[in-house]
C-alpha cells in the first residue's frame, strides 16, 4: 500500500508543479532491451505523449539519434512514415551518444565540441575492430565457420558515428549459460577496445576517447570497471568508444542550460556550452549551477533510467556501484537537494527484456542498489518499459490538461 500511495503522491506533484523537466534514458526504459538493436521497437502512443510534454521532456542516451541504428529510424518505423515525424515534430528531443549528439524534435542534429580529427578516427573504428573480431571469435570458438563469424560480426560491430560499439549479445547466444565463456568474451573484447584507444593515442589523440562499458561497476582512476558474467547475471553486454567528457551527468548540465534558455531567453552557462566545457566532478557541477542558476528558474527534474548496479565486495558495507544511468540520476538527486527541490528518480526494471539483468520482482533491489546506497528511487516500475510507458502516457495527458487550465 505504501508504494501505491507514494506513486500517487509523486504523480500528483509532477502533474501540478509549476515547472518540471523529464530527463530520460531510452533503451530499457521506453524500449524493451533486445539482443539485436536493429529489432528495437517503440510504442507510437508514447511518441505522441512525449509531444504533449513539449519543452518539459528530453532524452539522454548512449545510443544515437541518426544513422541506420539510430532511434530516429525506430520512430519512423513505428509511425510508418519518414515524413510525419518531421512535419509533426515527433523526433525525441535531447542528447545522444552520452552527451555529444543533440537534436530538436524536427530531427535537426548538432555535435558541438567534437573535432574533425576525432570524427575521422571514429569513422575508422569499425574497420579496425573487424579483423580483431575474427581472431578473437576463432580463438574462443575454434570450430566456427567464416560464414557464422560474418553473421555475428554484423550483429556485434555497431558502426555508429559518435560511439562505435562492440556488443556481446550475439556471441553470448553461442555459449548459452556458460558464464566462464561469457567472461572470456568480455575480457577479450575489453582488451581489444583498449588497443584501439592506444592506436588513437599513437595518432595524436591522447585525451580524446574513453571506453564506456554497459552495465559497469563504477569508475576507478578514470576507467569504468567491467561487470563480469556470473551464473545469475549476464554482466556487461557492450563496450562503446566515446569521446572523453561525454558522460551523462555533463549531459544533464547541457539540457538544463537549454531548458532554462528556452524559458527565460538566457542560458545560465552560456549559449555555446557543451560537454567539453563541463566541469568534471559532481561537486564542481553543483557549484556551477548554484553560481549561475536562480532558484526560480530551476525546474523539478525527473530522472528516469534502468542501468544501475551495486555489487557487494570485500566486507559487509563495501559495494561497487555503477551503471550508465547512475551518474546522471545521482547528480539530479543531489541537485534537487541543493536547490531545495525534491527531484524525482524513477527506476525502470529492464530485466523482462531479452538481456538478463537483476530483477526487482525476483530479488528486490539486490544487484541494483543496497541499504547504504545514496541513490534512492522515488518510483520503481517492476514490470519494465510497458508499465512505464502506460504510466507516462497517462501522466503526459494529465500534465497537458493542467498546463492548459492553469
Residue-range definition of the domain harbouring residue 234: 116-161+163-243
Residue 2's pLDDT is: 52
Determine whether 391 is exposed, middle or buried from the number of CB atoms within 10 Å of its CB (0-12, 13-18, 19+): middle
Q: The cell 533510467 sits on which residue?
A: 305
Query: 8: domain CATH number?
Result: 3.40.50.1000
Given a cut of 70, whether residue 5 has pLDDT beyond it is no
Given a cut of 90, whether residue 318 has pLDDT beyond it is no
Q: How far apart are CA 123 and CA 145, in angstroms?
A: 28
Residue 52's pLDDT is: 97
Smallest CA-to-CA distance from 319 within 257, 357, 389, 375 is with 375
| Whether residues 259 and 361 fall in one domain | yes
In this predicted model, what pLDDT tens digit does every residue of 214-240 receive, in sequence order?
999 998 888 999 999 998 889 999 999
Helix (DSSP H) and strand (DSSP E) numbers for the chain? 13, 16
Cell of 247: 558522460
Query: Of 227, 243, 259, which residue constitutes the final position of a domain?
Result: 243
| Whether residues 317 and 235 fall in one domain | no
Cell of 242: 566515446
| Whether residues 343 and 399 fall in one domain | yes
Buried-exposed string 26-54: b where 16+ CB fall within 10 A, e elsewhere: bbbbbbbbbbebeebebbeebbebbbbbe
Query: Of 212, 243, 274, which residue constitutes the final position of a domain?
Result: 243
| Whether residues 254 and 126 fall in one domain | no
Cell of 140: 574462443
In order of 134, 135, 136, 137, 303, the CA distances from 142 in angstroms are 11, 10, 10, 8, 45
Q: How far apart are CA 219 and CA 323, in angstroms?
A: 10
Determine whether 137 is exposed, middle or buried from the number of CB atoms within 10 Å of its CB (0-12, 13-18, 19+): buried
In this predicted model, what pLDDT tens digit does every residue of 29-42 receive, in sequence order?
999 998 888 889 99
Q: How far apart are CA 361 and CA 351, in angstroms?
A: 9
Mean pLDDT of the chain: 95
Task: Give the chain's domain count.
Answer: 2
| Whether residues 82 and 126 fall in one domain | no
| Whether residues 132 and 269 fall in one domain | no
| Whether residues 134 and 276 fall in one domain | no
Residue 4's pLDDT is: 60
In this structure, the dihedral spanned by the alpha carbons of residues 47, 53, 57 and 59, taken in order and rounded to 10 degrees, is: 0
Query: Of 184, 210, 243, which residue constitutes the final position of a domain?
Result: 243
Q: What percentage of the chain carries pLDDT values higher than 70?
A: 99
Confidence of residue 341 (pLDDT cuts 50, 70, 90): very high
Confidence of residue 1 (pLDDT cuts 50, 70, 90): very low
* Mean pLDDT of the 374-397 span: 97
Measured N-to-C along each axis, helices 248-264 and 326-338 cross at an angle, to the nearest 10 degrees, of 50
| Whether residues 64 and 149 fall in one domain | no
Given a cut of 80, whether residue 206 has pLDDT beyond it is yes
| Whether residues 292 and 217 fall in one domain | no
In this predicted model, what pLDDT tens digit does every residue of 324-337 receive, in sequence order?
999 999 999 999 99
| Whether residues 380 and 277 fall in one domain | yes
In this predicted model, what pLDDT tens digit does every residue of 269-316 receive, in sequence order?
999 999 999 999 999 999 999 999 999 999 999 999 999 999 988 766
| Whether residues 252 and 401 fall in one domain | yes
Beta strand 223-226 with 238-243 is: unpaired
Given a cut of 80, whether residue 317 has pLDDT beyond it is no
DSSP 3-state of 330: helix
Given a cut of 50, whether residue 392 has pLDDT beyond it is yes
| Whether residues 108 and 129 fall in one domain | no
Amino acid at each position: 500500500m505504501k508504494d501505491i500511495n507514494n506513486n500517487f503522491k509523486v504523480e500528483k506533484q509532477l502533474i501540478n508543479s509549476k515547472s518540471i523537466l523529464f530527463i530520460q534514458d531510452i533503451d530499457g526504459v521506453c524500449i524493451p532491451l533486445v539482443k539485436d538493436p536493429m529489432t528495437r521497437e517503440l510504442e507510437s502512443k508514447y511518441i505522441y505523449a512525449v509531444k504533449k510534454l513539449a519543452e518539459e521532456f528530453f532524452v539522454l542516451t548512449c545510443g544515437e539519434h541518426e544513422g541506420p541504428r539510430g532511434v530516429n529510424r525506430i520512430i519512423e518505423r513505428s509511425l510508418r512514415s519518414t515524413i510525419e515525424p518531421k512535419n509533426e515534430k515527433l523526433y525525441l528531443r535531447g542528447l545522444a551518444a552520452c552527451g555529444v549528439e543533440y537534436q530538436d524534435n524536427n530531427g535537426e542534429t548538432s555535435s558541438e565540441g567534437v573535432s574533425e580529427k576525432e570524427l575521422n578516427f571514429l569513422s575508422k573504428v569499425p574497420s579496425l575492430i573487424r579483423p580483431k573480431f575474427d581472431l578473437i571469435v576463432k580463438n574462443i570458438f575454434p570450430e566456427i565457420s567464416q560464414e557464422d563469424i560474418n553473421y555475428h560480426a554484423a550483429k556485434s560491430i555497431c558502426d555508429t558515428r559518435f560511439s562505435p560499439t562492440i556488443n556481446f549479445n550475439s556471441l553470448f547466444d553461442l555459449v548459452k549459460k556458460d558464464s566462464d565463456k561469457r567472461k572470456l568474451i568480455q575480457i577479450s573484447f575489453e582488451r581489444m577496445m583498449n588497443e584501439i584507444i592506444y592506436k588513437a593515442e599513437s595518432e595524436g589523440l591522447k585525451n580524446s576517447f574513453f571506453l564506456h562499458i554497459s552495465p559497469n561497476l563504477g569508475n576507478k582512476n578514470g576507467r569504468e570497471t567491467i561487470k563480469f558474467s556470473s551464473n545469475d547475471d549476464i554482466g556487461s553486454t557492450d563496450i562503446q568508444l566515446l569521446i572523453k567528457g561525454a558522460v551523462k551527468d555533463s549531459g544533464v548540465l547541457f539540457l538544463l542550460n537549454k531548458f532554462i534558455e528556452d524559458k527565460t531567453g538566457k542560458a545560465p552557462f552560456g549559449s555555446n556550452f557543451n560537454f567539453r566545457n563541463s566541469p568534471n566532478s559532481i561537486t564542481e557541477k553543483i557549484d556551477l549551477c548554484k553560481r549561475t542558476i536562480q532558484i526560480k528558474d530551476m525546474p523539478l527534474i525527473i530522472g528516469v533510467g534502468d542501468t544501475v548496479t551495486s555489487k557487494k565486495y570485500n566486507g559487509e558495507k563495501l559495494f561497487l556501484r555503477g551503471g550508465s544511468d547512475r551518474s546522471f540520476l545521482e547528480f539530479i538527486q543531489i541537485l534537487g537537494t541543493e536547490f531545495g527541490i525534491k527531484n524525482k528518480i524513477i527506476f525502470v526494471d529492464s530485466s523482462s527484456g531479452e538481456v538478463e539483468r537483476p530483477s526487482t520482482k525476483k530479488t528486490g533491489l539486490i544487484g541494483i542498489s543496497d541499504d547504504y546506497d545514496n541513490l534512492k528511487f522515488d518510483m520503481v516500475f517492476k514490470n519494465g518499459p510497458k508499465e512505464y510507458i502506460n504510466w507516462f502516457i497517462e501522466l503526459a495527458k494529465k500534465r497537458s490538461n493542467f498546463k492548459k487550465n492553469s
